[in-house]
Amino acid sequence: MEATRKLAPHLNVSIIMMKPIEKQYRFTWDFYILWILIALGIILIAKPWQFDMHIVSKVAVTIGMPFILAIVLHTFIHFIIAIVQSGSYGFLVLYRFLIFLFSMGLMFGVLLITGLYTESRARFFGFVFALLSTFIADYIIKRKTQR
């Protein structure tokens, strides 16, 4: 972070320039190392050559599954790094993300407890709950920032 006075030098106000949180996802060497380590772990633990599976299934277990898991872990790590590097805006994004996850968990918990997840309307309820949790998160953020 760098403090500059370029925009308003006569006001004697420092403006802090932060890194943006929205970055394009790129495959870097650390992703490939993570992918290889996960693949080696799956090969050593699952031992797919011992199972009587088709060759495509063996390749999917040894290459495809670690690739998807590496993308999920790598994306989560970069999300946390971007939040920390972007300062207060990043923590606002994290706050909104956590509110969304909590409200989704709460609403899907209601689905699970009531038993409505087994019915054919569960997709509709899931969509409505996702929509409601987004509005709840937005309402809480707007209410907090108006104070």
User: Domain for residue 14, yes or no?
Assistant: no
Same domain, 79 and 122: no
What does the pLDDT average to over 115-144?
Answer: 77
- Total domains in the fold of the chain: 2
Could you read off the pLDDT of 28-67 as tens digits, one per residue? 888 899 999 998 988 888 777 777 778 788 788 888 889 9
Residue 22: helix, strand or coil by DSSP?
A: coil
- Measured between its terminal Cα atoms, the distance across the chain in Å is 27
Report how far Cα 25 is from the mean position of its chain's Cα atoms: 12
Could you read off the pLDDT of 5-16 as tens digits, one per residue? 444 444 444 444
User: Domain for residue 79, yes or no?
Assistant: yes
User: Domain for residue 91, yes or no?
Assistant: yes
Same domain, 53 and 65: yes
- Count of beta carbons in the 10 Å neighbourhood of residue 116: 14
Torsion angle of C-alpha atoms 82, 84, 86, 87, degrees rounded to 10:
160
User: Domain for residue 40, yes or no?
Assistant: yes
Confidence of residue 21 (pLDDT cuts 50, 70, 90): low
Same domain, 92 and 61: no
CA distance 84 to 79: 9
